[in-house]
Structure 1
Amino acid sequence: MAQLTVRYFAGARAAAHGTSTEQAEAASLHDLKQILTERHGERLGVVLKAASFLVDGLACHDPQAALPARATVDVLPPFAGG
């Protein structure tokens, strides 16, 4: 499992009870989403299902891809507006 820094933005931060940054350990995005949902509740789980993820600044679309140690994972919920 990789030690990660997770950063929440916009609605993801609100769903994580105002947490902007936290540490977590996970092997993949799939695992990370489960861990964060258990930690913060189903409201965040719903956001995570629709969110985009950046791993060290690069978009990651494969939930099973291995996360590198000490990576920063940005959680970006869908944004409204034009």
Structure 2
Amino acid sequence: MGPVTVRLFAAAREAAGTSETTVEAATIGEVLDALSQRFEDLGPVLTRCSILLEGTRTTDREVPIPEGATVDVLPPYAGG
């Protein structure tokens, strides 16, 4: 398990009060759990977000995270 850079966008950024953080995690599920514990208001937002690991969307909580990887948290958005 190593440090993972997490970038938060839009409503996720607002709920966490930051646009970027680092968590110790080995899987996507561990990242999401760590974020929910660290930022109380972020938990409900995460259920609606897309999660990207190195730019590739994933819904599998068991996906391993390579060392030095970046995870992006993107809430749904509307607009044109």
Gaps of 5+ in 1: none
Counterpart of 1:6 in structure 2 is 6
TM-score by length of 2: 0.90
Which letter maps to 2:34?
I
| Counterpart Cα distance in 1 of 2:58 and 2:65 | 10
Identity %: 46
2-structure distance, mates of 1:46, 1:28:
20
- Structure 1 stretches of at least 4 aligned residues deviating more than 3 Å after TM superposition: none
Q: Deviations over 1:3-43 (max 9, x none)?
A: 211000000000102x01111111111111111111110x2
Gaps of 5+ in 2: none
TM-score by length of 1: 0.88
Q: How many residues are matched? A: 80
Provide the secondary structure at the position in 2 that maps to 1:50: coil
Counterpart for residue 60 of structure 1: 58
